[in-house]
Each structure stands twice: as C-alpha cells, then as structure tokens.
Structure 1
Amino acid sequence: METIGSLKPLNIERSAAENEMTPDDEPLSPPALLFQTPRLKCYVMATMGSKTKWDPSRVKLGLENTLAKHPRFSSLLVMDERNDGKMRWRKTKVNVDEHVFVPKIDLDKMEDSADEADKYVEDYISDLHKTKMDYSKPLWELHILNIKTSGASGVVVFKVHHSIGDGISLMSSLLACTRQSSNPMMLPTLPTSSRVRSHSSSKPKGLWCTFWTMISMVFNTFVDILILAATALFLKDTDTPIKGSPESGYAKKRMVHKLINLKDIKLVKTAMNTTINDVLFGVTEAGLSRYLNGRYASKQGENAGYEMASKTRDFLPKGLRVRAALYVNLRPSAGIEAFAKIMGNETKLESGNKFGYVLLPFEIGLRDDPLDYIRRAKATLDRKKLSFEAVCSFAIGLFVHKSFGLQTVASLMHNIVSKTTVSFSNVVGPQEEISLYGHPLAYVAPTVYGAPQALTMHWQSCGDKMVLILTVDSNVIPDPHKLCTDMEVSLNSIKDTLSKRGLITVK
C-alpha cells in the first residue's frame, strides 16, 4: 500500500527558481488530501462493457484528444519538500501508452463459458484494486479486456485515484468522452427533474409552509448532527453478516454487477408517485432484508436455504441497526458539455472533490406488503431532504482539518463511516445509448474501492438499463451474486404487487 511518503517529490537538485511554485501549480483541496491518507485511500473503478471488441489504437487516440487534455488527468501529484512539504498538482505531458494496458488472455479456456469469462473479469478487477498506482505519472489507468462476457463483447476497466475528483465530476468527465450512438456528433443527455408547482395555494398557506419547512430543517439538522456525533463517539451498526470491520477498507474486494430494466423502476416510480431514488432505496432495503434473512437462516442451521427461509419464516433478529453512508455532491453540476469544453481547452471549470455525507437508516425486516418498502423509503428520503446534514458534515470536516490537521479529520471520517454498514450512491447516467471512441456501450458500472465497509453499493442508469454494482469484502459476503439476485427479486415482487392491484400494466 502506497503512502503519502511515496509521492514523487520535486527534484531538489534543481535551481531555486525551478523549485519555486509555478503559476500553473494547484494545491490539493482538503477532500483530495483526505484520499491521500492511508486510512481513506480510495480508487474509483468504472467497468464499461462494449457491444463490440475494443480497438486499442482507437481508444488511445480518443484518450489523447479527451482525457489526456483534462487538467486533473494531465497533472502529476507532487510534494514540494524544499518549501512547505505540501502536495500540489503540476501539469505534465501525458504519454497515453503508459496509461493503457492490454493483457494477454487465454481465450481458449473461456470460449464456451460466459461464467468463466465473468469470473476472469471479476478476478482481474479485484487484483487491480490492490495494485499500486505509479505516482511518476498522472493517477489513472485504462485496462482493455477483449473477452466476451455474459453482458458484453469486450470490457474496459478505468481506474482513477479518488483525489482527482468526486463521483459526479469523474462520471461527467467520462461521459464527456462519449457520444450518442445514433448521432456520433452529439454528447449524451442527462434526464432533468421537473417539479410541478401548484398555483392553487393561497399566500398565507405558502408563508405557513415556508415557516414550517424552515423549522423542520433546523430541527432535522440538529438531530442529524447529534446522531453524527454519537456515531463518531460510540453509536455503531449491529454486527450483522454484512457488517465489516474498521479494517475492511484494506481488504481485497470483489465487484459484481447486474443489469436491470430501467422501465420496471420507472413503472414503480410512476405508480407510487415517488422518485427513482425512493424506488432504489426501497428496493435496496427489501433486498438486504431478504438476503440477511437467508444468512440468519443458514446461521441457525436451517437446511431450507435462502429461498425457503425468505418465503416461509422470519429469522431476522429484532432491532437491527443497519445504516448507509450516502455521499452527496455539494457542487452544482456543470453538465457534460462543460467538461467536454475543458478537454477542448475552451474553458476552465472547478472540479475535484466537494461532497458531504448523510447517514441513511434501513429498517431491516420482512413486510407483508412489499410496497411498504417504497413508502418507508420515500418518508426517509423526504425527511433527509429537509436537513443540512450533508453541508454540515462537509463544514465540520473543514473545521477539524483547519483546527487539528489532516490526520485527525481522516481518523474522524474513517471512524464514522466504519461504524455504518453500507456505502450507497445513485448516479444519473445518459438517457440514450452511447459509444466510447466509436465502441457502442452495453453498460457502465462504476464503484469505489477503499471504503472501510464490507459492502459498497452503486446504482447507475445508462440508456434503458439500471446497473446495480456491488463491491464486497468476500470474507464477509462470499456470495455477492446472491445479493444481486435478491435485489432483483425484491423489485419484481414490488412490481407484481402493483400489477395485481391494477396500478400498473405489465406487458
């Protein structure tokens, strides 16, 4: 594991003038510095499946014209030991050949087995996570695996150090390299949320609602910060079969994903008058409940297994505390077009890391009515929207950093996150089918390695699909594919219930 001490220092043998700060040098932001500490060293990994084989020469040419021109993707991380010992970004010329890897694969062993190919890709990504990054060049790599899996004809794995940017800025940068498959000249489009405003409310009612909203936000924020403080001091999640140890961030992880029809999620959303986030959170709660019930059944020596346990008996202990750490981007999204202009040297844009986090409680339990999972999810998320928890968590981190130093805030964040069970996020993707450097994509599956939890869960929309990505500590969750299946089964159960009640029509 590399540490801060392994960063490439500036050459102190140079002249004094050469060692001075240059106008182009940029200091790392506090969140970026956090991701350079040993306790919070994280990597973003994005797996992209193509409907065709990958052409390495086209990929390299595309990278030269896009990411290699991005300010962060074309900068070295250096430490100025002569002056203040601080880390800075320093522009450099990118040699794309040093960042693209095409391993040799024995295709004969996997010609007739998609399962073997899937396992090979999963093993490759798992090993890649533990491979040290070379600090003598910009902190990103792209690996081309021309192997036919169950969901693609070829796969690329993009690995980037989390200090380069948060999930939103990195995903926006990646999507700015893509084009619509139906129109290679057009950038992808992201869905926009539309809010319907009622004009029937009278002015006094509007004033009263505004006043009550303000009171609710102050109260909710106060309660959330108290819970955050309690978590930092003593409040931790129940030791369930999916709860990792504080050292889970160092463990070798395994990433799996599952493709789900986005139309099914939208059907549930419309029928229950909720948001896609509500549906995903409800499905997650239902899937975790189903999976944990099966794990507790096996723990008690039941031979019935997961399926029978989830259908016939409730093995879940009462009062389980299971929470997710949800990371919230605090910088207004500039849009894909803005990132495309950055790589075209047409504009400058603030990027990097700027996020807070909130603690989301799951109410683990088996429900007689599957729709209750969505209702409870909506209530939970609606309440969290009336809170400044994310902003306050970011502000507290900055205060601790300035007052007590980087290592203190790193220990604080590690302590809080490690006491929760799941890292959770949902990233909005393009509405249409897209291509990366002329290769039509079947899916995009991002995740983060290094979080001090045994389970990291991402939902990523892409065209007409929703991709569920799980990154797990295999010593804690040895069957992540089963957890994926439980998520899908839970969604189908909710959809079937709506269909039986005549609320949706399933074709």
Structure 2
Amino acid sequence: MDELKEPVSPTGQYLNSSALSLSLLCFLESEIPIDDSQTTSLLKDVFLPINSRFSSIMVVDENGEKQWKRVEVRLEDHVNVPIFPAGLSPESYDNYLDEYISKIGMEAFAKSRPLWEIHIFKYPTTTAAGVLIFKLHHSLGDGFSLMGALLSCLQRADDPSLPLTFPSVRLLSNNTSLMKILPKIFSVVFNTVSDFCWSVRKSTVLEDDKTPIRSGDDGVEFRPISMATMGFSLDHIKQIKANLGATLNDVITGAIFLGSRLYMQEKSKESSKAQSTALVLLNTRIFRSYESVEDMVKPNAKTRWGNHFAFLHVAMPPLAEASSTNPLEFVFRAQQIINVKKNSLAVFLTGQLLKILKKLRGPEAVAKYIHNTLKNSSMGITNLIGPIEKLSLANHPIRGLYFTVLGAPQSICIAIVSYMGELRVAVGAEKDFIDAKKLKSYIEKAFQMIFKAACQKTDQQPKE
C-alpha cells in the first residue's frame, strides 16, 4: 500500500500525546446471543470504509509533525473474544464484564496498529444476551463523529430501509433584533471576563477539594475503573422540564449533582459543601443533527468529521440542610449556572488561548494544559443524542446503548446518551475508591426526588 498521509488535527494531537491519551468505550447490548461469524466481513466492507483513520496509524514526519499514515489492517489483531466459564448466572457475568472493562480500559493501544478495537462479550448479563464493545481512541474523532460512524453500521430493527430519527433539539434563533441584543452586551462582557479568568485559574492553580468523588492523586487515569449504568424515562424528564421551565441538561445535571452530593455526604459529611466542579463537554458544531458519514467527511461538510468540542466549568452547588427537602434547588442552580456560562464567550477565548499556546510552546504544552484542566476538576460530564428507534446490527436487535471515556485524570466520568425514549447514564468511576453502584443508587434517588417535587409543585399551583 502506498504511504498516503494526512495531517493530524491540533485536537487529535492533544488527545494522543505523552501528557494525555483519551479513548472511548461504546457498548451495544444485544437482545439475542451474539453470532460473530460475520465480524470480519462487516469490518472490512462497512466499518473500515467509513474513514481512512480506521486504517491509519499516527506517525511523526521529518518535520516533527504528526500525520495519519495508511497501513494494511490485520482485522484479527483488532477483534477480541474473551473466554469465561460457561453456565454461570447473569449476575456472575456482570462481574466478569466489569473486570474485563477494567482490564481493557488500562491497556494502551499498540502504536503499530490503527487505534481501534472490538471486544465481543458472548455471555448473558442482567441487561443483555451479549455485549459488543467498541474501543476507539479519541484522536480518531469526537463523540459526535464516532457516534455518526457507529450509527452508519447499524439499521432500524423494524425496517432497515427507513432512516433513523432523533429527538428534536431546540436551536438558537437568528431573528434576535439589535434592540434585544444591546441590553445584554454588558452582561456578556462581564460574564466572559469573569468566566474566562476563573477557567484559566481552574486549569492552572485552582484545584477542587479532595472528596469522596475526587482522590486528586497523580496517575488516576492509569487506574482501573468500575462501571454502573442507569436509565431515566425521557417522558419523565420532559414532564419535569415542562413543570419547571428547564432544559433536559438542567434536569439531568441537577440530578447528577444532587446524587453526587448525597453520596459525598454519606461518605464524609463535611464534603457535602466542598469545592467541587464538573467539567461539561460541549459540542461546538453549529448543527446538532447527525449527517450521513458520506456527508460528514466531505471537504465542505457543515458538521465535519473530527474533534469539535470545548469544556465548560460548572460548580456543583453545596448540599445545604434545606436541599434535602427541596431537591428542585439543584435543578434551578444548575439552570442558573449553565445560563450564565452560555451568556459568555469564555469558551471562544479559551480556544484562542490554546491556539496561542500551541504556536508558542507546541501541542504537548496544550495537552498538558488540558490534562491539568481535567485533573483539577471533580468529574467530567458528556452527552450525545441517540436514535428514537430500536437499532439492529447484523440482525442482532440492540436493546441498550451507552458509552464512557477512558484516560481522563478524574475519578469520575459520567456519559449520557438517549436511545428509544430513555436517557442512559453511565458512571465510570475510579475502582476501589468510589463505589459506582452506590453512587448510581444516589443519582437514581435524586432523580426520583426531583420528579416527585416537580409534580407536587405543579399540583400546588393555584388553578385559574
């Protein structure tokens, strides 16, 4: 094969460096036992053609610049089928799956092969008849790109000839008049300056407190993780949204914050008021719906393949005594904080800062800056939009879909994706430090507290 090369994007260089290496684990839960006889043909005919990066390794050229270099792909090197004792209970296989996830999560990609793997867990768990796991390095693309690629391999289970549809996303209007914009200018300037300065401090010298959800240890990204997942009805979330005048992000962020604080309080009462920050991942594309992969990789594509994201620092509200009886405060506080962040150009300024840092000191310095940004916060939160309809892969109906991020120097990563009317929340936590299942139970409890309080709030409103 000829040596076809393309430059690695700046963000791709940051995410695969000596200072930082992030990967994604994407899980597809099959309704039926997995038949892997079609694996090779599907990878060769469907997966590899999606993007040349799936057939490339990252190399450094004679000028010291990182490039994607096309290579021959030995598919057998990328497919893993673990063997465990047969005839055990689903609960036992849950434990085996958790241990296996920890194992592959700590394994680095071989530099001599393209940066992806597939793991086929062919044992029944309490949630699936088998689990297909995609491990993809984050330098290949962001969650939006990789989700688009994954969806291009799948079909609607009810009718493969029909296109997938997604929950509607409220877009910003472009019809705002100048008279409406002018009063907000001073607010935007003030919020931008304060938010940007705080963000720089959080990325350099200002660390979150050490708490039951943040060990703050060096090298935490190299430790094993424990996974726990939970599902929330989108109908219930929409009901809370309507009752409170909030957004989906406000509701789920409020539940995560309240649940985390309740978990922290049980472990250490003082930590319920500790300085804790969530780093929320933002998709910076203008358009929020998935294009086809063919459209995404065109030179002038609107969404563009690659990494298009930014971080948003969101301080977790403290757990005051009153918060336990008024859980809606966490939704309102999340809404207030996020609205202030939205009314700011700090994300844009941070992007410019990274460009200047790259120009002056190189991509490794930027990677170190991003590493410190992650390390100084308590958790990462990222979310994606998934399809409304049930998916199918090679005639295997997919009953569940979730993902997590590996390699972040944080004790907790929370990843959220919608699928078939449910919001699936996955908690990836530092093993032997955080009890992922207990944290899950507190987040579920927090959501029920918020749902109950939101419904009572509506019932208590005076009728006209």
Tell me if TM exceeds 0.5. Answer: yes
Quick one: which amino acid aligns to residue 242 of structure 2? T
Within the alignment, does 1:485 sit opposite 2:464 as a pair? Answer: no
What residue in structure 1 maps to residue 388 of structure 2?
A: 431
| C-alpha distance after superposition, 1:242-280 (max 9, x if no partner) | 113242112222222122322222221122121111111
Quick one: which amino acid aligns to residue 492 of structure 1? Q
Q: Structure 2 length as normaliser, TM-score?
A: 0.91
Q: What RMSD over aligned residues (CA atoms) do the two structures have, in Å?
A: 2.7
Quick one: which amino acid aligns to residue 199 of structure 2? L
Distance 1:415 1:341, change over 3 A: closer
Q: Give 1:186 shift.
A: 2.6
Of residues 120, 123, 127, the one that matches 1:144 is 120
Within the alignment, does 1:234 sit opposite 2:205 as a pair? Answer: yes
Quick one: which amino acid aligns to residue 438 of structure 1? N
- Separation (CA, whole Å) in 2 of partners of 1:138 and 1:450: 18
Alignment length (residue pairs): 455
- Separation (CA, whole Å) in 2 of partners of 1:406 and 1:80: 13
Within the alignment, does 1:353 sit opposite 2:291 as a pair? Answer: no
Of residues 154, 164, 168, the one that matches 1:192 is 168
Quick one: which amino acid aligns to residue 410 of structure 2? Q
Q: Give 1:72 shift.
A: 4.0
Deviates more, 1:240-249 or 1:87-96: 87-96
Identity %: 26
Q: Give 1:443 shift.
A: 1.3
- Separation (CA, whole Å) in 2 of partners of 1:337 and 1:401: 31
Question: Any gaps of 5 or more consecutive residues in structure 1?
Answer: 1-9, 11-17, 297-314
Quick one: which amino acid aligns to residue 134 of structure 1? A
| C-alpha distance after superposition, 1:418-462 (max 9, x if no partner) | 111001112111122111232111111111111011111111111
Quick one: which amino acid aligns to residue 6 of structure 2? E
- Separation (CA, whole Å) in 1 of partners of 2:296 and 2:456: 50
Quick one: which amino acid aligns to residue 452 of structure 2? D
- Separation (CA, whole Å) in 2 of partners of 1:198 and 1:337: 22
Contact 2:25 2:404 in 1 (8 A): yes
State the secondary structure of the residue aligned to 1:430. coil
| C-alpha distance after superposition, 1:49-101 (max 9, x if no partner) | 111112212343333232210224433224255x2233211233444333222
What residue in structure 2 maps to residue 213 of structure 1?
A: 184
What residue in structure 1 maps to residue 431 of structure 2?
A: 474
Quick one: which amino acid aligns to residue 273 of structure 1? G
Quick one: which amino acid aligns to residue 276 of structure 2? V
What residue in structure 2 maps to residue 106 of structure 1?
A: 85
Q: Structure 1 length as normaliser, TM-score?
A: 0.83
Q: Give 1:338 shift.
A: 2.3
Contact 1:417 1:453 in 2 (8 A): yes
- Separation (CA, whole Å) in 2 of partners of 1:251 and 1:198: 46
Of residues 154, 158, 161, the one that matches 2:130 is 154
Deviates more, 1:179-188 or 1:329-338: 329-338
Q: Which aligned pairs between 1:14-413 and structure 2 lie closer than 5 A?
A: 24-81=4-61, 83-108=62-87, 110=88, 113-194=89-170, 206-245=177-216, 246-296=218-268, 315-317=269-271, 319-333=273-287, 335-339=289-293, 350-366=304-320, 367=323, 368-413=325-370
- Separation (CA, whole Å) in 1 of partners of 2:172 and 2:273: 38
State the secondary structure of the residue aligned to 2:333. helix
Contact 1:325 1:422 in 2 (8 A): yes
Quick one: which amino acid aligns to residue 36 of structure 2? P
State the secondary structure of the residue aligned to 1:445. strand
Contact 1:357 1:393 in 2 (8 A): no
Within the alignment, does 1:462 sit opposite 2:438 as a pair? Answer: no
Quick one: which amino acid aligns to residue 264 of structure 2? L
Q: Give 1:194 shift.
A: 3.7
